[in-house]
Structures are given as structure tokens and as C-alpha cells.
Structure 1
Amino acid sequence: MHRPLLLLFAVTLFESVRSHAAMFHPSMWGFNATGDTPFFGNGVPGEHDNRPVVPLINRTFEQWWLHGYSEYPPHPEDIMQLPAGGSQMIEIACGKQFTSYWPMVASTDQRNGDPSPCPGSNTQEFHTGGLNDLGGCALAISYKSNVSQVAPEDFTVFSINQTCVWERETYFQVPKDMPPCPNGMCTCAWFWIHQADAGSEQNYMIAFQCNIANATGTVPVAKGNPARRCGDDPRYNRPANPANCTYGAREPAYWYQFEENNFFEDTLDPPVYTPLYGWTDGAQDDIFRTVPFGTDPNTVPNPITMSGSTTTPTPTESSTTSVTQSSFTSLTVSTSSSAFSSSSSSTSTPLPSPQRLETVCMRPTEFSRRPGVMAVLADRLGLGSLRQRQTARRLVRVEGRF
């Protein structure tokens, strides 16, 4: 066998035997899905395995949204109760047999006293080389109880665990000011993207029915913006740049699919839930306001901390995304010690114009590997057929990594 073909075979075999991981709870869509559950495909002809642990990569929107489980809902009364101001344990494992739900699929307890997501296996089974090689997991919420009405932009991340995936029992902190869910139920989702050195370009999304228990908040959760790459970045030898961060409410990362991505990072640059993209560990308390990119977050009032404020209107489209093309060409980012100091008192660098998106994203290799994604980008850039706001939002998303 030729050496290149042998190498390709070895890589393919390695990926095929490697395990994956997902959350497991009766409140989730697809809780009872197995390798034999009918599925319309995983982007690979003849492949029909869509268990919760199967990663999402190069799928159409219908295939990756809700993990393709829209026809496999949970029982209406199976609702995960998330305590406001407290923490919720979620089991994350390489299979249901490794969770407390093992009696549903196995004759004996497969956990064997091992706290690992994949008992008896090395960490590569869940895509990590160790504690310093984790991409983190996120929980997001939509205040809509009818999942058919939930769109990607409706999810706002409210909790991050950066030691994830690492142990089966993973705890997520819930902001104390979360408002109650309508009719006692919201739609939540668990997200995970691992680091690039531990596997291919994989996303994980599991939606589940949820409710905020003991909720006393009166301020609605705001619509999010995409996180931007702004932390210490040794891969590109760049120091942290707080002025490039996204503040306030943020969306989950939708990446490496054929449709509806909000991140367009390369294979080796997954948009992880770590300080690299400005995420902090624990409850995301700053989710009650939308801060347009380039705005000093100190100038945007936080309705939770405003004296005498008990309510605030739900952000409208104009207030959620107020960045325009003209503002990009004039906005400056300070390079002084104060990230948002006046440009007149420090050296500043203009942000690139929106045209840079084309040179950043449209690489020849990407055209051949991901034609669906690039067609979407070309459509949104080429003829001005979509609104300027959409172009601006995608500039924000892509420029967050450069």
C-alpha cells in the first residue's frame, strides 16, 4: 500500500474507533435514540448512526439543528429544573451505559466506580490530552417553550464549565437573576466543541426541556452576539486584547456545518468556550444586556445593577445589533493598557473594512472542502442581496479570530 494511502487509512481508522461524548437526561431530545434509530443521514452516504454522542460536522441545518432529533422529543413532564443562583449536575458520558441511566441499556452498571465520561478508557476517547487541553461546555437558553419556534439566534449562553468534558458528573452554575420560564418551561441546549489537537472539526448540541426553579428575576435575558477571539493567543503569538471581546449576552457557537454557521473558523481554530474567546467559567451574569461590538461595556447600563430598575424591554432587532458598515470603517481599538481609553490619548488601529471578510474566509482549500458554507458566504457578500446588518454581523464573527 502506498504510504499516503496507508496514512489516510490509519487516520480514518483512528477516528472511527475513537469515542465521543454527550449529555444524558430524560428531558433531552433523542434520549432514547440508538444506532438503529431511523435517521436521514449524517452527511455520509449509507451512514445512519445518530446517537447523541455522534458529532455534528458538515450537516445541513435540518440535520444538525437539535441534533436532528425534532421527531424524538422528551416526555412533556420530563423537564430539567435549573436552580436560580445554584448549580445543576449534568451527566456527560460516551454512552448511556456509563450514566445513572445504565439500566435502560445494560444488565450491569458500566461505571465501575470510575468518574470518567468513558470508564476504563484514556482521555483521547473524549477528545482531550488532559486538563490543559479542554474546550469547555456551554448551556444556553431560549425563553420559548415550543421548540418548533426556537431559532439559533434565540439561544443565549447562561453557563460555562471550562473543565468539560472531563468528568461524568459536570456541574453548571445558574445566574441568580434568571427570570421564570413561560408556563414553567423553556428550551435549553448543551454545547461542546473540543480543542483542535484532539480530533476533527466536531460540534455537539443536545437540546432539552428546562425550567428555572425558584426564579425571582424580572429582567429578561437579552439576545446574544457571537463571542470574539480576544484572549491570550499563543497560536498566533498575540497577547490578549480585551477591546476585541464580546460583552453582554452571547450566542452559542455554530460551526463547521453546511448551513447556518455563525463562526467560520478554520479546522485548527475551533471557537471554544474558553478565555480565548472571552468566556469566563461559571454563571454568565452579564446576559441581561446586549453590548454592540466596539462599545465600552462600562457605558452600557446593566439593568440588573441599575438602582431602582426592575424591568427592561426585551432587546429589539435594532438594539441587539446596531453595528453598521460605516461604523466599522471609523471604529478604532486602543492598544494602550486601558482597552477602551480615548483614541486621542493612545495609539489606535482602525478595524478593517467589511471587504476583509472575503480575503479572510474564502480560501481555495475551503471552497473545495466546504462548498455549502462558502456558497452561503458568497451569497451574503457578493451582490448585496441581504441586509447590511447581516454582513456586519458576519464581519464581527470572523474578525473575532484575526
Structure 2
Amino acid sequence: MTLKFLVLSSLALLTNAHMAAFHKAMYCFNGTASGQVNYNNDDPVSPLWMLKKSDYWFHHVNQCDDFPPAPGDFLELPAGSSFTVEVAANRGVTSLSFNGQFATDWGDGGNHPNDYSVANLAGAPLSSSGCIGNPNMHTQNQSMAAGTAFAISYQSDISQVTMDNLAVFTVRYNTPWKRVTSYDVPKDMPACPADGCTCAWVWIPNGCGEPNIYMQGFKCMVTGATSTTPIATPKPPVWCEEDQSTCTQGAKQILIWNQAEGNNIAVSGFDLSGNPKSPAYNSKCGFQDGEGFHALVAIGNVVSDTSPQEHRMTSLVHRPLPPQRLQQLLHHPHLLPPRPHQLLDRLHQLWRHRLLHHPHHLLHHLLHHLLHHT
């Protein structure tokens, strides 16, 4: 029996398989059998549903997190540029196995039309839920793919990574889709410790089957870093499709949903398209395509390219001012800080000290500021 026959027999089982991001710096790159290399590895692709945190966290349910990448293997994150992974149902259909001979544009090793959809399957199967079945991307077409993301923790030891130090730093809308997938890296990402950071690839499908989540780990390293501004403690995202002003601002946690414990979001009812709400790494939960460093810092933090004057003003945000200083700002609006969140902070202090006696005074000063600073 030839190697090619064995491989093709294994790949024939990919129908209804799920997806993971493959790279040599991933945990359980070679599988989860000690001392063995599984070139058809699909251990990280299984979905996570109604599990204890000790099982879903970094895919511990099958001990994936117990198999770190080889020493020195990092997923490099070039500050201000992008990086690439291969999103597939099996390592065997990536460039990382069999010299890439079974890799195609798609994550199942198959050939599908560019406008692949449930309306143009070109002979591929439908899933039991009426969606694209192979690869099992949990979507009807590219525009409905929910979005995937990477998060980073500045902890080198994966056992020290928590929800409070793992922050989403990049999002790619309308994925998973094709095998080769690139993600943007904010230019102001700070450097990792000498032993690297820990990253996670995460995804929540938009329906098309069991409402589960995906999470897998990587050893990662920010390269070309120039900023020293630390990433803020991330906060839980919220559903905000109907009103983007209610979205969580700044650094956000990954989404934990439909697990036995540790969920940080709950939804009910229907989204604006009329489908059951499903949290996702897109605008429905306040994530922007590509994201950026603004999504990693606390409101009021200073990024490395601010001017000295902006730095001084930003450092004052949330620091209470004496009433006489607030009175001075009231009579000299040009002294108000230039950035909107700083302005609102100052106006809020004026209101608290009863120096703005009516709501229309607040609006007057806001309009005055906008007229003179835009």
C-alpha cells in the first residue's frame, strides 16, 4: 500500500472535519502522541462545547497544550506588517506535510470555485445544517463567514495565561475561508519577553451546526517592536450590533460562549439579519477587521508616536483637577484637550463640580470644541 494511497484515504475522511490554524509554532503541531509525528494531524480542529475551563482552555480536552512547538519555533508577528497561517481541516492538506503536494487554495485539499457557496457547490456536499460541508467552515458563503482572530499574552509560560492577560490584537473578517490566511499586526505592539509570548487562534462560527467555539495555542514573538506601551487588561466583549456606541472599548478578551463554566458573553433573540444571535469576531461584538493598537490599550493610554504636548495632556486624563483649574477651562475652552475622550473627561469633571449648570452648557462647550479643533 503506497504512502499516497494512505494519505488520500485519510483525506477522504475530511468531510465534516472542522478547522484550525496550522503553523510550525502551534501547540500539538505533530499531534498528541508522544514521540510520534502525525503528518495527518487534526487534533487541534475539534470544536469546544459545554466543557470545563480546564478542558477548553488552549484545547486541553485532548492535551494539545501539553505538546509545545520545538524550541526556537515562533509565530513571528512583525509590528506594522502581517503574518500568515494555514487554516485547514488537517495538517496533511497544508504546505507543512508531504511537501505540500496535497495543498490547494482550500482547507480540505479540494478544488472549489472562487464564488463557492451553497448556491454554487460544484459537486461538493452540503452539511447536515444546509451549509458548505467541505471544508466545514460553518457558513453558506464567504460573506457570512463569522471571522477569526488572534489574541496575545505577554506570558511565556502557557500555564500563566489567563483571561486577564490574553487580549485580541487582530481580526480577519469573513474567515475561515481559503487555506492561506493573513492577519495584520499593530505597529505599536510591544516586544515579547526573551522566551516569547503566548498566542491563541480563536473562532466562533455563525450557526451552521452546534454553537461551539475554537481555541488553540501558539508560541509567538513580536518582531521589529519600537513601542514600550503595555497592553491593557482586556475586558469582556458585549453584543453591540444594534448600537456600536455600546461596544466594549479598548483591549478585549476572547469570547467564551456555551461552555460549562467561564462564559463571558450571553446572547438571546435574533440579530439584525433575523438569525439567532451568535457572538463573533466581527462588528456584532465590537471587533474591527484588522483591529489595531487602539484595541489593545486602555482609554487614555499614550502610544509611542504622541507629541510631548499630547503626552502631557493624556497623562492628565482621569486625574481630578482643582475647582479653580476647572473654572479656568470653563472660561478658556481652547485649553481643553484635543482628543475626544480627554475632552469628555474634562467636561464630565466640570459637570460634577457644578460648573456646567445645565445640559445645554455641556453641548455648547462640546460644539465650541469641535468647531475650533476639526
In the superposition, the TM-score normalised over structure 1's length comes to 0.61
* Aligned residue number for residue 332 of structure 1: none
Which residue does 2:28 correspond to in 1? 30
Q: 2:239 matched to which residue of 1?
A: 229
- Give the deviation of 1:151 after TM superposition: 1.2
Q: Is the 8 A contact 1:145 1:187 kept in 2?
A: yes
Output the aligned Cα RMSD: 3.0
User: Residues of 2 paired with 1:306 and 1:77: CA distance?
Assistant: 35
Letter in 1 for 2:237: A
- Give the Cα–Cα distance (whole angstroms) in 2 for the partners of residues 248 and 302 of structure 1: 13
SS in 2 for 1:176: coil
| Letter of the structure 1 residue corresponding to residue 58 of structure 2 | L
CA distance in 1, matches of 2:296, 2:290: 16
Residue identity (%): 33
Q: Aligned pair in 2 of structure 1 residues 301, 72: CA closer, same or farther (>3 Å)?
A: closer
> Does residue 79 in structure 1 map to residue 74 in structure 2?
yes
State the match for 1:89 in structure 2: 84
Conserved in 1, the CA contact under 8 Å of 2:42 and 2:89?
no
Counterpart for residue 250 of structure 2? 248
Tell me if the contact between 1:255 and 1:265 (Cα under 8 Å) persists in the aligned partners.
no
Report the CA distance between 1:264 and its aligned residue.
2.5
1:285 is matched by which residue type in structure 2? F
Distance in 1, Cα, partners of 2:244 & 2:169: 20
CA contact (8 A) 1:94 1:126 kept: no
Cα distance between partner residues in 2 of 1:244 and 1:283: 17
Q: Using the alignment, how far apart are the partners of 1:188 and 1:213 within structure 2? A: 14
> SS in structure 2 opposite 1:182?
coil
List runs of 5+ in structure 1 lacking aligned partners.
1-15, 38-48, 232-239, 292-299, 314-338, 346-402
Q: Tell me the SS of whatever aligns to 2:239.
A: coil
Q: Which consecutive aligned stretches of 4+ in structure 1 deviate over 6 angstroms post-superposition?
A: 339-343
| Structure 2 match to 1:261 | 263
Please state if 1:101 is matched with 2:96: yes
Measured in 1, the distance between the counterparts of 2:301 and 2:158 equals 31
Q: Map residues 90-129 of structure 1 onto 2, 5 A cutoff.
A: 90-103=85-98, 109-111=101-103, 114-120=104-110, 121=124, 123-124=132-133, 125-129=136-140
Amino acid at match of 2:49: I
Q: 2:50 aligns with which of 50, 58, 79?
A: 58
1:280 aligns with 2:288: yes
Asked whether the 8 Å contact 1:118–1:126 carries over to 2, the reply is: no
SS in 2 for 1:132: helix
Bigger Rg, structure 1 or 2: 2
Amino acid paired to 1:168: R
Alpha-carbon deviations, 1:110-139, whole Å to 9, x = none?
Answer: 22xx31112325633221110121110111
Distance 1:302 1:199, change over 3 A: farther
Equivalents in 1 of 2:304, 2:262: separation in Å? 32
2:50 corresponds to which letter in structure 1?
A: N
Counterparts in 2 of 1:136 and 1:288: CA distance versus 1, 3 Å: closer
Q: 1:175 aligns with which of 186, 190, 202?
A: 186
* Residue 288 of structure 1, CA deviation: 4.3
How far residue 188 of structure 1 moved from its aligned partner, in angstroms, is: 0.6
Q: What are structure 2's unaligned runs of at least 5 residues?
A: 1-13, 35-40, 111-123, 126-131, 270-275, 316-343, 349-357, 361-374
Matching of residue 142 in structure 1 with residue 153 in structure 2: yes
For residue 294 of structure 2, give the secondary structure of its aligned residue in structure 1: coil
Greater displacement, 131-140 / 262-271: 262-271
Instruction: Give 1:2-401 correspondences, 5 Å limit.
Output: 18-33=16-31, 51-68=43-60, 69-103=64-98, 109-111=101-103, 114-120=104-110, 121=124, 123-124=132-133, 125-196=136-207, 198-231=208-241, 240-266=242-268, 268-291=276-299, 300=300, 302-304=302-304, 306-308=306-308, 309=311, 344=359
* In 1: Cα distance, 2:165 partner to 2:21 partner: 21
**Distance in 2 between residues matched to 1:288 and 1:131, nearest whole Å:** 28
One-letter code aligned to 1:116: W
**Residue identity opposite 1:32 in structure 2:** N
Whichever residue aligns with residue 182 of structure 1, its letter is P
SS at 1:191's partner residue?
strand
Q: Is the 8 A contact 1:83 1:174 kept in 2?
A: yes
For the residue of structure 2 that corresponds to 1:52, the secondary structure is: helix
SS in 1 for 2:65: coil
Query: Using the alignment, how far apart are the partners of 1:26 and 1:252 within structure 2?
Result: 23
